[in-house]
């Protein structure tokens, strides 16, 4: 059984954020079974700098920790071409397709992402899971009872 799984950028960002339910889920996903790509690192660094206002020395330290704690998949020309095919076939944006292509290339059976279609199967071997789906359902139930 393959225990690896791929993490999208939003999981990484929530793991350093202050939205407690999403932070807990995200932190629990980070570990040596997790795979991220060089794209995930660069997107995370961009969000940390532009939106969260982190300095580059802090970003460097945080991304170094992520690379040490998870498996790193390198974006190659092959990944880029696969992303074009995925975008054409499934209708995702190119950058989302590059995340999917990287997850497929890493042989991860699961891609955790808040932004992609929950429970969708890609190429008969990759399932997209929104790890916050249960939190979202709980939030909706709580709102209805108010």
The domain spans of the chain are 5-144
Average pLDDT over the chain reads: 91
What order of strands is seen across the sheet that includes strand 126-129? 71-73, 34-37, 5-7, 110-112, 126-129, 121-122
The CA distance from 128 to 131, in Å, is: 9
* Cα-based torsion angle of the residue sequence 107, 112, 115, 119 in order, rounded to the nearest 10 degrees: 80
Query: What does the pLDDT average to over 18-36?
Result: 94
Token pair for 23? 């932070």
User: Per-residue pLDDT for 135 more than 80?
Assistant: no
* Helix, strand, coil share of the chain (percent; to 5): 55, 15, 30
CA 101 vs. chain centroid, Å, equals: 12
User: Per-residue pLDDT for 32 more than 60?
Assistant: yes
Query: What does the pLDDT average to over 14-34?
Result: 94
Which residues of 3-120 form beta strands (DSSP E)?
A: 5-7, 34-37, 71-73, 110-112
Condensed to tens digits (0 to 9), the pLDDT of residues 46-78 reads 999 999 999 999 999 999 999 999 999 999 999
User: Per-residue pLDDT for 143 more than 60?
Assistant: no
User: Per-residue pLDDT for 2 more than 70?
Assistant: no
Position 142 scores a pLDDT of 43
CATH 3.40.50.1400 assigned to domain 5-144? The reply is no
Number of H helices, E strands in the chain: 7, 6
The CA distance from 122 to 42, in Å, is: 24
Q: In the structure, what pLDDT confidence band is assigned to residue 104 with cuts at 50, 70 and 90?
A: very high
The CA distance from 50 to 77, in Å, is: 28
Position 133 scores a pLDDT of 84
Condensed to tens digits (0 to 9), the pLDDT of residues 117-130 reads 999 999 999 999 99
User: Per-residue pLDDT for 16 more than 90?
Assistant: yes
Position 33 scores a pLDDT of 95
User: Per-residue pLDDT for 27 more than 70?
Assistant: yes
DSSP line for 44-61: HHHHHHHTS---HHHHHH
């Amino acid at each position: 059984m393959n225990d690896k799984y791929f993490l999208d950028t939003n999981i990484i960002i929530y793991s350093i954020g202050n939205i407690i339910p999403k932070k807990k889920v995200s932190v629990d996903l980070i570990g040596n079974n997790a795979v991220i790509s060089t794209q995930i690192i660069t997107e995370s660094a961009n969000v940390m700098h532009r939106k969260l206002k982190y300095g580059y020395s802090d970003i460097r330290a945080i991304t170094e920790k992520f690379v040490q704690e998870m498996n790193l998949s390198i974006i190659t020309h092959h990944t880029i071409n696969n992303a074009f095919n995925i975008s054409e076939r499934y209708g995702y944006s190119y950058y989302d397709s590059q995340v999917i292509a990287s997850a497929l290339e890493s042989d991860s059976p699961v891609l955790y992402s808040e932004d992609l279609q929950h429970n969708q199967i890609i190429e008969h071997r990759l399932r997209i899971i929104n790890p916050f789906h249960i939190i979202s359902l709980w939030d909706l139930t709580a709102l209805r009872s108010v």
